[in-house]
Amino acid sequence: MRFETTIQRPVEAEGIGLHHGVKVRIRILPAPPMTGIVFLRTDLDRFPIPASWRYVARVSYATSLMRQGVLISTTEHLLSVFYSMGIDNAYIEIDNLEVPILDGSGDPFVKLLREAGVRTYRRRKRYYRIRREVTVEQKGKRISIQPAASFFLTCNIFFDHPLVGEQSLDLEVTPENYATEISPARTFGFSWELDALRNMGLIRGASLDGGVCFDRTTVMNPGGLRFPDEPCRHKALDLIGDLALIGKPLLGHVVAERAGHAMHTALVARIMSDPSLYEMITYDQLMERSGTPLNGWATYAEPKPEPAVIGTAGD
């Protein structure tokens, strides 16, 4: 919690991209302090694309990054795992334009990072502590972040399906909570939408091995759901992956109501556009103020200024 981290040793995986349907191999390597998470397109002379809000290119059904015309698609699952498992610095060698979907969840990446181990540097980790509420809302969807002394999520979704409907999740995000409660949740879709998505050039690599598919009444996957509220947990996974584009761990309570990638990244852009909305703080400084360990969830008590509210395009 106090110091920046990377992985101890390289690890790799290969699979199919969900949307482009391409075969892809990734290799995760240690990186020095202050590097952040950086993708390296090995098929393009290791062209670097930092995992940063500055390079968000597309947010339709996945979050894609682009730098100087070079694309990395479907970044949210892998970034969600790095962020929640406390890995600050890493290089990700990737030989195609999309991160592999694997089983559709974050679980395979959690296992990779556990295999890789953690190396701790002497450089102190710095957090973005939210100082006042920020809200993005549009057409019945809303996402906000409020001041808090840890990273906490409230996620609410609604889909008109008998096995989904309204679902909600409240969780403090720690490595342990994330690995057991969020990372196993898979991406999902509905059978009657598949043709339209394929006509849009999406889900070319989709299969029941890489996500959950609902028909009108049931789950088509032979093993069923991993959690009764698996869709909501996966939306939380996606949300964390998009927030990871801030580049440093957040201290705040995020409340997402039917939000998606577009609203997630709009919130990130709003936060980063106004330095008065946050302060940079170390673990020790936080402890001096709140007296509570970062993984213990304590509300940072201070008067709340008027919240900032903006609108954005829909998801």
Active site amino acids: 261
Distance (Å, rounded) from C-alpha 108 to C-alpha 99? 13
3-state secondary structure string across 59-93? CCCCCEEEECCEEEECCHHHHHHHHHCCCCCEEEE
Q: Which of 92, 176, 87, 156 is nearest to 125 (CA)?
A: 87
Query: Residue 49: which residues within 8 A CB-CB, separation 6 or more?
Result: 38, 39, 40, 41, 55, 65, 66, 67, 70, 72
Q: How far apart are CA 221 and CA 209, in angstroms?
A: 8
Joined together, the tokens standing for residue 38 give 């950086």
Task: Report how far residue 241's alpha carbon sits from residue 110's, in angstroms, rounded to the nearest whole number.
Answer: 13
Distance CA 315, CA 299 (A): 31
Question: Could you give the CA distance from residue 226 to residue 85 in angstroms, rounded to a whole number?
Answer: 21
* Cβ pair 24, 102 in contact under 8 A: no
